[in-house]
Structure 1
Amino acid sequence: MTYRMAVALVALVDSIVALYLHLWKIGLAGTLSCGAEHGCEVVQLSSYGWFLGVDVALIGAVGWAAVFVVAVLGTLPRWEDARWPTVALSALVLPALLFTLRLKYGEFIVLRSFCPWCAINAVIVVIASVLVALDGRRLRRLDADDVDDAPVPA
């Protein structure tokens, strides 16, 4: 499994989680499966559950779907060694990581709560960040190998 395939897999999982949370928030998913402390409801219904008037879970669902699409395109033979998918994934995943840090601060420090679904997102965004960094390293090695294989002028 390539790094990009792994990114696609974790992005698919997180987009499903985010979609579930969004559907719950708009009343289409029934009861939120969370735990006895109801941390998910506390977090989802707080001001941290919204960003510029948009549901954070919806932002996550759309964002992770975009990550999934870019990662899948990057696995196609035509683009498996292209730089643009990794650059695009970095542009999508880094803001997600920073935004997740903000959300974790709000969840733990401000709200003093815990949402297991949000924890899944936090773990996945870290995994995706590491995978994208590893893919960038793979591409740098390919570039270095290409330079080493270049003919030396006489």
Structure 2
Amino acid sequence: MTIRKFIAVVALINALVATYLHLWKIGLAGSLACGGGSHGCEYIQGSRYGWFMGIDVAMIGAVGYAVIVLVAIIAAMPKFEDEKWPVRVLQLLIFPAFIFTLRLKYAEFIILQGFCRWCAVSALSITAFTVLIVMEWKRVQRLPAA
């Protein structure tokens, strides 16, 4: 599996999880399957850090991951597999998401002193994407010019 395909698959999983969290937050998904006691997922999702500029962070994640899925699928197509532009587009999506995730993790761990398993999966995924997209950029940089 290529880096681009891996990013597409994992981003799809994260888009579904983020959609689930958003649906829970707006009351359409029943109870939240997480656990974690009094400082778990519900506590984190319900905090002021569960919103950014009036928008649900889970919705931001769902949309962001969906766009990453779309771009990664296009980038994985044989005619684009050695092109640089799809990597640049993925970088433009992934790098800000990584910075945003750092902000969220700081709020979760330091300010709220809580832990959300779903948020941790997203944080690990976006961190892996950051490393992988740098590796992919280095790979396409080494390719001979077309």
1:6–1:131 Cα contact (<8 Å) kept: no
State the distance in 1 between where 2:110 and 2:32 align.
23
Equivalent residue runs for 1:18-33 within 5 Å: 18-33=18-33
Secondary structure of 1:66's counterpart equals helix
Shift in CA distance, 133/36, structure 1 to aligned 2, threshold 3 Å: closer
State the distance in 2 between where 1:135 and 1:8 align.
14
Secondary structure of 2:37's counterpart equals coil
**Aligned residue number for residue 97 of structure 1:** 98
Shift in CA distance, 140/36, structure 1 to aligned 2, threshold 3 Å: closer
**Aligned residue number for residue 137 of structure 1:** 138
State the distance in 2 between where 1:118 and 1:74 align.
26
4+ runs deviating over 6 angstroms: none
- The residue identity in structure 1 corresponding to 2:141 is R
Q: Give ranges in structure 2 of 5+ residues lacking alignment.
A: none
Matched, 1:47 2:44: no
Q: Give ranges in structure 1 of 5+ residues lacking alignment.
A: none
Question: What's the CA shift for 1:115?
Answer: 0.4
Q: Matched residue pairs, number?
A: 145
The TM-score normalised by the length of structure 2 is 0.95
**Aligned residue number for residue 123 of structure 1:** 124
State the distance in 1 between where 2:31 and 2:122 align.
20
State the distance in 2 between where 1:17 and 1:88 align.
23
**Aligned residue number for residue 13 of structure 1:** 13
Q: Max radius of gyration: which structure? A: 1
- The residue identity in structure 2 corresponding to 1:90 is Q
**Sequence identity, in percent?**
52
Shift in CA distance, 105/82, structure 1 to aligned 2, threshold 3 Å: same
The TM-score normalised by the length of structure 1 is 0.91
